[in-house]
Amino acid sequence: MYIAEITERLLEVNRLLLKYIKDTELTFEENLVFSGFYHDYKDINSIINSAEKELNDSPAILMEQAKALAAAASDFLATYESHEDIFGSYNPQPVCDRHIKPLEKEYDSIAYAASQLWKRYSQMSVRMDYLNPEDDDYKAIEKESEEVKARYEAEKAKSDETYRFYTAEREKTAKLYFFEMIYLEMLVVRMKRIADSIIKDIEELKSEGKI
């Protein structure tokens, strides 16, 4: 069902193309649909391999899927060609910056707070090294240092969690930041050719009585 999956996602791409034409702006997640489609399916050989397997298992289903993909690809190309000036000026960088910079700032703030707590805890530990454990000052600092350490560990855990999320979002952003619509157009052209070729091959096999 690989080709059916591609078609379903291409239909979502087509829907967002029309929205972009109307609004000239999309959310970060909506823009990811474009770059995600390209990066997930740019290995065009995977479509060919899937088609070869499906041809042996169920040529009728493959024919239906190929026609659906060809239709979705035709819709994409018609939309792209009639609004090529709009798509030629497509620039996802501003929306990427608006998405990632606040996350970066949040992580930096939390990481800084954690580092300051660790610094304070370390200073207390050094000070305690020069005090008698039986002294009241030592006991007071020891109690405070334990509190600071607990706060540090909580802040460090928060920092680590924020960093993991920030890193994941940064990876998404990296795929979108320099993305251009022409990459998508070239990919869909190739998909259309493959879908048309599948349809033609199945029709020939049918006419020859081989399926």
pLDDT over threshold 80, residue 1: no
DSSP structure string for 66-115: HHHHHHHHHHHHHHHHHTHHHHHT---HHHHHHHHHHHHHHHHHHHHHHH
User: Rounded to the nearest 10 degrees, how much is the dihedral formed by the CA atoms of 64, 8, 25, 20?
Assistant: 10
- 53 or 68: which leads in pLDDT: 68
pLDDT computed for residue 56 by the predictor: 85
pLDDT computed for residue 138 by the predictor: 92
Q: What is the pLDDT of residues 9-20, one digit of tens each?
A: 999 999 999 999
Q: What is the pLDDT of residues 167-208, one digit of tens each?
A: 999 999 999 999 999 999 999 999 999 999 999 999 998 888
pLDDT computed for residue 136 by the predictor: 87
Entry pTM: 0.86
DSSP structure string for 165-195: HHHHHHHHHHHHHT--HHHHHHHHHHHHHHH
DSSP structure string for 10-56: HHHHHHHHHHHHHHS---HHHHHHHHHHHHHH--THHHHHHHHHHHH
Handedness of CA 120, 121, 123, 127 (dihedral sign): positive
Q: What is the pLDDT of residues 55-64, one digit of tens each?
A: 888 999 999 9
pLDDT computed for residue 210 by the predictor: 74
pLDDT over threshold 90, residue 128: yes
Mean pLDDT of 30-41: 98
Where along the chain do its domains lie? 2-92+179-207, 98-175
pLDDT computed for residue 80 by the predictor: 98
Q: What is the pLDDT of residues 64-119, one digit of tens each?
A: 999 999 999 999 999 999 999 999 999 999 999 999 999 999 999 999 999 999 99
pLDDT over threshold 90, residue 209: no
